[in-house]
Homo-oligomer: A and B are copies of this chain.
């Protein structure tokens, strides 16, 4: 609050900024060349800093990937968490809400395929331990999704015997598949809209209606 130790504060601030810069640069090169094909020198080169400097901010190559993944997961989750599970009181409201969320989410996928690449591709296979971590992120998304389902069950507009956990996970599968599809889509925006429509349709109506 006070002006005391401002110099130290500024230093800490600059350090924080540099950490963020490095995470950003690593995100870029990891998604471009892939985690294993990327060298620390590539990350440092992207920023124009010495690669020794990297080690003043991160433990090692794996460490930066963990941070990049966490950052990416946070970005993705913020898109889902933007809405409030408890806000909806009817199926129609929930469906509208779902469409909004899918729109935001799939727009994010269409606009930053790097994020998809990182969370659904690179992070998944960097090493066995990170597979677990990334699957944890998937689980976190599933849990976020489950909150909405539970609200519906609680409010009565979703059936009481819905297997909330597995269903939520299945929906995450749809999200993953959408992300991977947009990765190679010729027209990502058009593809995104097809996914929003077809995705919410199968989710709410099933394929038969």
- The answer to whether B121 touches A125 (Cβ under 8 A) is yes
Decide yes or no: A177 and B173 within 8 Å by CB, A203-B206, A206-B206, A209-B206 being known contacts.
yes
Closest residue of B by beta carbon distance from A127: B34
A175 to B174, CA, bound (A): 9
Size bin of chain A's contact surface: 35 or more
Among the stretches A8-16, A66-74, A164-172, the one at the interface with B is A164-172
- The answer to whether B166 touches A170 (Cβ under 8 A) is no
Contact with B along A5-37 (1 / 0, CB 8 A): 000000000000000000000000000011111
- The answer to whether B122 touches A167 (Cβ under 8 A) is no
A152 to B208, CA, bound (A): 9
A86 interface residue, CB < 8 Å from B?
Answer: no
Q: How many copies of the chain does the oligomer comprise?
A: 4
A158 interface residue, CB < 8 Å from B?
Answer: yes
Give the contacts of A57-109 with B (CB-CB under 8 A).
91
- The answer to whether B124 touches A167 (Cβ under 8 A) is no
A115 interface residue, CB < 8 Å from B?
Answer: no
Picked from B117, B157, B159, B174, the residue with its CB within 8 Å of the CB of A174 is B174
- The answer to whether A205 touches B202 (Cβ under 8 A) is no
- The answer to whether B174 touches A127 (Cβ under 8 A) is no
| 28 chain-A/chain-B pairs, Cβ below 8 angstroms | A34-B125, A34-B131, A35-B125, A36-B127, A117-B131, A122-B125, A124-B125, A135-B180, A152-B207, A158-B208, A159-B207, A163-B198, A166-B181, A166-B195, A166-B198, A167-B198, A167-B201, A167-B202, A169-B177, A170-B202, A173-B174, A173-B175, A174-B177, A176-B176, A203-B206, A204-B208, A206-B206, A206-B209
